[in-house]
Structure 1
């Protein structure tokens, strides 16, 4: 299931952003026993580099990433740690 979720996250971001690089890490194993992990959803970290973030403040960048996740935030993802950068910032 973990590899499938990573693939879904990757596909969602690739479909809406012009990416210079993307790293998706499943950190669910670090949260075993955590109350939020009991429902089976995972904890993930993404490092997204895209010039689609040019001129956007951090909150707007994160909103773009969350929008790309859509319903995955309620079905598959419990927590998402986001690093959203432009190519010049990476």
Structure 2
């Protein structure tokens, strides 16, 4: 079950990109004792998102688009976010 941070991330990404695929995994437990891990969870995430908005854009631009939408979360509770952003039909 995801918490408030994950719910916010999902909502913001859905509103911004209308993704055809959105997978968000809280990977915080694997980072216990590492920098940015507060022990409360929801600090480290893996994201896989597929949306038409990424078509024709370079990987770095796709990541920037996602990071812009999640700027508040990345400045606060999220310490690390792994992003795989694709357009429909890409692997």
TM-score (norm. length: structure 1):
0.91
Q: Which residue of 1 aligns with 2:61?
A: 60
Q: Which residue of 2 aligns with 1:33?
A: 33
Alignment RMSD (CA, Å): 1.5
Q: How do 1:7-26 and structure 2 match up within 5 A?
A: 7-26=7-26
1:38 Cα deviation from its structure 2 partner: 3.4
Give the secondary structure class of the aligned counterpart of 1:56: coil
TM-score (norm. length: structure 2):
0.90
The runs of at least 4 aligned residues of structure 1 exceeding 2 Å deviation read 38-41
Query: Any idea what the Cα deviations from partners look like across 1:2-57, whole Å, max 9, x if unmatched?
Result: 51111011011011102111011100000010022138560001100001101000
Task: Give the helix-richer structure, 1 or 2.
Answer: 1
Gaps of 5+ in 2: none
User: Separation in 1 of the partners of 2:12 and 2:64?
Assistant: 14
Task: Give the strand-richer structure, 1 or 2.
Answer: 1
